[in-house]
Amino acid sequence: MSQRQVLQVFEQYQKARTQFVQTVAELATRPQNIETLQNAGVMSLLRPLLLDIVPTIQQTAALALGRLANYNDELAEAVVKGDILPQLVYSLAEQNRFYKKAAAFVLRAVAKHSPELAQAVVDCGALDALVICLEEFDPGVKESAAWALGYIARHSAELAQSVVDAGAVPLLVLCVQEPDLSLKRIAASALSDISKHSPELAQTVVDAGAIAHLAQMVLNPDAKLKRQVFSALAQMAKHSVDLAEMVVEAEIFPAVLTCLKDPDEYVRKNCATLIREVAKHTPELSQLIVNAGGVAAMVDFVGDSRGNVRLPGVMMLGYVAAHSENLAMAIIVSRGVLGLDAVLQTEPEDHIQAAAAWSLGQIGRHSPEHAKSVAQANVLPKLLRAYLRPDVSEDLQIKSKKALKHILQKCVHLEALEPLLQEAPPNILKHVVAQFSKVLPHNPKSRRLFVTSGGLKKIQEIRAEPGSALAEYINTINNCYPEEIVKYYSPGYSDALLERIENYLPQV
């Protein structure tokens, strides 16, 4: 055979390989094909193609592997078991940028499913190779490497620590400053994943100077970038007072309040999370937020959003109110109680209602003024109903009971307490009656109102064990009124009168 014919055989083979690998890569983009591909044993076929001489075939094979591993974790485990990772890591250091991108994609696809798979990726020494990729010029390579590192660090604190030990954090902070938008997004999300686990990790990220750069991007028009930036800042601020203060010193307020009105709802949610994490540490930080007008913005946010998105907002109002009665009064004045009331009424989910109940309790428990403002918003019957409903979760029950108790212990606004007399179970009733017994001895007008509104009648109908606190309170109340009135309202009085008629001898 002539030389040309021999070479033609090789060319045909190469063409066939290229076509195979390109078609597999294309098919792997559609989920319905992946089952068939898996059953046809595509893994074992793709593995030797990774070592092919032609670079395009290598890259496309890596891309196809990445797409397959991305789909579910069985395939990712097959990638790990097939010893493909060491080969990928080795060539990650040497090959051109397209191959690096594809290899980083495979690592990311494997690491994203579970902590064990991520640990397997780390054990192959992928971290050093990925960190070297972060130093490349091409933004696409940096993006894939940063994405893979983010997915590895997401699972647990040890993995995040190993990512930090590989020296990734300063490079990620450099990536955040790049002009390429998607690279910024991915780097911000990786920083967020690293700093969410523990205060030391967050401190490492902050020491690399991340806060200043993230704070600059707060007013960027791109929505997805803002999501990641706010999430990163929130994760950093949540661990300790110092970190929260450093985040605040980057002068994000009041610019952050603008983002509470962003059209994208996840930006709003992450923004609210950030404000909550800052506000929960100390009264001074909460005071700062209140003075910047944050409470008004947050109340509007809670009113405009629906569902899980408004949970951080509700919690933030509770945290701020819990610090001091000044701040609670500030929330009341900014119409926070009405907002929380709306949440309690309209939300179907239990945990959001529980958060709203808790926040209302924190607002109302400081002084009679606060309790009065809360009670006037007609919140107490709703809390009671939330406590008594048979199908609620335990969390909601406990929180609404505690909130009721706190508010009732300070509430002297009797009109709001009277509806509770009708429906309350004994442990709540005790507090209600206690409040009545505190106010009635001193205030004649309220005594009259109490009688005319039928409260005295209800009191008489309550059966209390003698010697309990409830009986004492009832006694106190009864002592405020003359004998005849008490007897008149006591149950069975009409029967007693009728009996007297029977025993009465008419005096003719």
Partner 1 sequence: EAEVHRKEEYDAAVRIQSWYRGIRTRSLVKNLNRCAIRIQRHYRGFMGRRRIRAILIDSVKRMCLDHYNKQAAQIQKMWRGFYVRKYVFDYYSRKKYLESLVAKNEMIRSELAEQEEAMRREARKREEEETRRRLRAWAERHHYLVSTVVQPSVFNSPYRPFTLPEETLLLNTRPKTPPKVASVGHGFDPSWRQYGQNQLMVRLPSKLPPLPAKPQGPFRQPEEVRAQRYREFQPSLRVATDYEAYGHLAYGNAHFREVQPERHVTQDRFRTIVPPVPVFDKLNAEYVEGYVEN
- The footprint of partner 1 (CB under 8 A) covers 221, 254, 257-258, 260-263, 290-293, 295-297, 300, 326, 329-330, 333-334
Q: What count of other Cβ atoms lies within 10 Å of the Cβ of residue 503?
A: 6
Residue type, 101: K
As measured in angstroms, the least distance from the Cβ of 46 to partner 1 is 35
Give me 37's structure tokens: 């591909």
- Considering beta carbons, is residue 108 or 372 the nearer one to partner 1? 372
Specify the DSSP element, H or E, that contains 346: helix 336-346
Q: Does the CA dihedral 112-114-115-121 come out positive or negative?
A: negative
The Cα 11–Cα 306 span in angstroms is 61
Long-range contacts of 393-399 (CB under 8 A, 24+ apart): 393/350, 393/351, 393/354, 395/350, 395/351, 395/354, 396/350, 396/351, 396/353, 396/354, 396/357, 399/354, 399/355, 399/357, 399/358, 399/361
- Considering beta carbons, is residue 372 or 430 the nearer one to partner 1? 372
Q: Give the torsion through C-alpha atoms of 244, 250, 253, 254, to 10 deg.
A: -170
Nearest Cα to 432, choosing from 444, 443, 423, 441? 423
Residue type, 22: Q
- Considering beta carbons, is residue 292 or 338 the nearer one to partner 1? 292
As measured in angstroms, the least distance from the Cβ of 313 to partner 1 is 14
Q: Does the CA dihedral 185-187-193-198 come out positive or negative?
A: negative
As measured in angstroms, the least distance from the Cβ of 136 to partner 1 is 24
- Considering beta carbons, is residue 329 or 469 the nearer one to partner 1? 329
Map tokens 């008594």 to a residue: 388
Q: How many CA atoms lie within 13 A of 340 on its CB side?
A: 36
Cα angle value 421/415/472 (rounded, 5°):
45
Nearest Cα to 188, choosing from 234, 141, 157? 234
- Considering beta carbons, is residue 136 or 325 the nearer one to partner 1? 325
- Considering beta carbons, is residue 301 or 473 the nearer one to partner 1? 301
Q: What count of other Cβ atoms lies within 10 Å of the Cβ of residue 22?
A: 16
Map tokens 């004649």 to a residue: 444
Can you point out the beta strands (E) in 202-352? none
As measured in angstroms, the least distance from the Cβ of 301 to partner 1 is 10
- Considering beta carbons, is residue 303 or 381 the nearer one to partner 1? 303
As measured in angstroms, the least distance from the Cβ of 332 to partner 1 is 9
- Considering beta carbons, is residue 292 or 469 the nearer one to partner 1? 292
As measured in angstroms, the least distance from the Cβ of 366 to partner 1 is 13
Q: What count of other Cβ atoms lies within 10 Å of the Cβ of residue 357?
A: 30
As measured in angstroms, the least distance from the Cβ of 261 to partner 1 is 4
As measured in angstroms, the least distance from the Cβ of 38 to partner 1 is 39
- Considering beta carbons, is residue 144 or 373 the nearer one to partner 1? 373
As measured in angstroms, the least distance from the Cβ of 374 to partner 1 is 16
As measured in angstroms, the least distance from the Cβ of 378 to partner 1 is 22
As measured in angstroms, the least distance from the Cβ of 359 to partner 1 is 18
Give me 249's structure tokens: 């010193």
- Considering beta carbons, is residue 330 or 375 the nearer one to partner 1? 330
- Considering beta carbons, is residue 127 or 218 the nearer one to partner 1? 218
CB contact burial 328-342 (16+ within 10 A = b; e otherwise) = bbbbbebebbebbbe
DSSP state of 441: G
- Considering beta carbons, is residue 260 or 375 the nearer one to partner 1? 260
